Amino acid sequence: MVREVLASQITDTIAKLCIDACHLLPDNLVQGFHDAAEKEVSPLGKSVLLKLIDNDKIARENKVSYCHDTGLTIVFIELGQDVHVSGGDFEAAVQAGVRKGYAEGFMRKSVVSDPLLRVNSNDNTPAVVHTDIVPGSEIHITVLPKGGGSENWSTMKFLLPGEGAEGIKKFVLAAIEAAGGAACPPLTVGVGIGGSFDKVTGIAKKAILRDIGDHHPAPHIAELERELLALINKTGIGPQGYGGSTTALWVAVETYACHITALPVAVNIQCHASRRASATI
């Protein structure tokens, strides 16, 4: 049975998600700050983590953005195949929601309409929208504001298949070391393995949506996640690059089938403000 959803409802939902994502860090992430502060060996690193906790409290109490960089808006949508969107264009409704949310939430507009002319669009659109058609009659939406500092250090590479897990670990570690403190650690690191040039970067970004502690269901991938997190935290980069044992809070790996001649790997780095908000219509 087809279910009708108004375009205006999509717009209003996305507007609220934009505000919630920028103003309220996920509870799981804030708990990660607390856990890291208890274990952090560097006094300066511990001080930074405590300031991140204070910053979250200030943002919540004053209903302001946690970070001034409110990001390029990434919108993940799972659109039920039994949904009919009426009263407007689906894509336009999504973009209108981002426009409305960034205006009403008094968030910084960080998007330039043309990558070479560099003229600000003044409303944080267009957002980057990923839409998957799924079974059912609901629309599940996740808004991910992606800051420029961490996104700029994200990268991908085609390894030789024979390089295997060791090659992947070397590549991921090199990406983190290159970023240093510029990506605003402690980080959430999304790693994509497999697929094609475009698919691997997409699954790396989706990986950062996973909660801290939520390991991949495949045991060998879960083990790779643990190994990568340990290696990254041994770099000593530490919170905000000031040194310490907490360079990353979490590493999540997603995989996809790939060609017999290829081993594509992507690293999507997320700063300590790993913001996101979800809702189902």
The 8-class DSSP code of residue 120 comes to B
- Reference 192, options 274, 267, 270, 271; nearest CA is 267
Predicted TM-score (pTM) of the model is 0.93
For residue 132, pLDDT over 90 is answered with yes
**How many Å apart are CA 73 and CA 102, to the nearest integer?**
10
- Reference 25, options 279, 241, 276; nearest CA is 276
Q: Check: CB of residue 177 under 8 Å from CB of residue 186.
A: no
Q: Summarize the confidence of residues 235-242 as an average pLDDT.
A: 96
| Mean pLDDT across the chain | 96
Backbone phi and psi for residue 175, each to the nearest 5 degrees, phi listed first: -65, -40
Burial class (CB in 10 A: 0-12, 13-18, 19+), 38: exposed
Model confidence pLDDT, tens digit, residues 165-214? 999 999 999 999 999 999 999 999 999 999 999 999 999 999 999 999 99
Confidence of residue 1 (pLDDT cuts 50, 70, 90): confident
Model confidence pLDDT, tens digit, residues 72-103? 999 999 999 999 999 999 999 999 999 999 99
- pLDDT value at residue 260: 97
Model confidence pLDDT, tens digit, residues 106-122? 999 999 999 999 999 99
- Reference 250, options 281, 280, 274, 221; nearest CA is 274
Cα separations (Å) of 262 from 34, 160, 194, 207, 216? Answer: 40, 6, 8, 21, 22
Model confidence pLDDT, tens digit, residues 10-38? 999 999 999 999 999 999 999 999 999 99
- pLDDT value at residue 96: 98
